[in-house]
Amino acid sequence: MSSESEHRCSINSLEHLQKLEENALIVSELEETSHRKKKELEALKQQIIKKRNEKEEVAAKLEINAHRILKQFIQDEPNGRKSLRRKQINDEELELLRGALKKARQMKAEEMKASYRLTGATVEPITNKKLRICWDTFHQGEFFESFYAQVEINEESKIEKHSIPFFIPIQSLVDRYLSDSMECFVQMVGNYLNAYVSRRQEAVELETVHKDMMVGEVHTASAFDFLQFYIQVTEDNILEVCVTYTDLQTETIQGGPQGAGVVDDSEDLHSELVELKNQLKSLSLAEAISEFFAKNS
């Protein structure tokens, strides 16, 4: 090997060694940075855990003592309102009072939601004086749709906006129940809504199941509290059936509608028509018509 080749090889080795040293230094710096970051992250985690524990401790203390704290500052007046026991409250006491009031409202809201959820309704607070009520409606165990109302709670509680059908006497229910008993109000509105949905689905089921036997469509009122339809009994007889519900809280035909009736000009089907009228009080519309056809086919 020539001296020039040896010199070149020496330079290459030196450059390689320098690169190895540089890489080692970079790795060392990265490891040090990573270790430092891990320590900082761990310290941050501990701070978060500490703050969380402090928050949970304060929340638990407020939950236990919320009502006791409120009693220290608030008293009942003869007119039913509440007022402060003392005129002067320092900043520390004011902060404590605010926390107790907030927790008391949260606890009340949770109690309301748990209570109403069991009845197919949920109540969510929007502000201190406004609530959003959602009613879920069902028919034969199947969910169909939800209805909503935004309620303002004060001395004269009122509905601000809602999606409840116009034929349900919502204002009468507000006047009668809302100010005195939110639970009664929610339950009564729910009864009307579920009754409406059940009557509607009865009509839909009737038209679907007996489509081939019916002459024309099922005619209904908006509230589905009146139905009129025609069915082909024989080649010569078309039966007109009218079903009337006098109570909008009647959920289905199975509840025994008042005034359910059958009208037809044929004397040959008189006994069968009387039986159909009775069946309409114990069976669904579709089931009653099926029974009628089974006996007269």
How far, rounded to the nearest angstrom, does the alpha carbon of residue 56 sit from its chain's CA centroid? 28
- Flag whether 278 is in a domain: yes
- Flag whether 76 is in a domain: no
pLDDT at 290 over 70: yes
Split at pLDDT 50, 70, 90, the class of 48 is low
**Among the ranges given (106-110, 163-167, 176-180), the one the predictor scored with the smallest mean pLDDT:** 106-110
- Flag whether 26 is in a domain: no
| pLDDT tens track for 109-126 | 565 555 445 467 888 888
Are 133 and 186 in contact, with CB atoms under 8 Å apart?
Answer: yes
Distance between CA atoms of residues 235 and 239, nearest Å = 11
- Flag whether 50 is in a domain: no
- Flag whether 279 is in a domain: yes
Residue-number span of the structural domain to which 234 is assigned: 201-296
SS3 133: strand
pLDDT at 264 over 70: no
- Flag whether 220 is in a domain: yes
Q: Which residues contact 133 (CB under 8 A, 6 or more apart)?
A: 116, 121, 122, 123, 124, 148, 149, 150, 151, 186, 189
Are 258 and 245 in contact, with CB atoms under 8 Å apart?
Answer: yes
Count the domains in the chain: 1
- Flag whether 162 is in a domain: no
- Flag whether 36 is in a domain: no
| pLDDT tens track for 189-222 | 999 999 999 999 999 999 999 888 888 899 999 9
Distance between CA atoms of residues 292 and 174, nearest Å = 43
Are 240 and 230 in contact, with CB atoms under 8 Å apart?
Answer: yes
Q: What is the mean pLDDT of residues 266-288?
A: 74
Helices 285-296 and 182-209: crossing angle in degrees, nearest 10, is: 30
Q: What is the mean pLDDT of residues 93-97?
A: 72
The CATH number of whichever domain residue 276 belongs to comes to 3.30.457
Distance between CA atoms of residues 276 and 261, nearest Å = 9
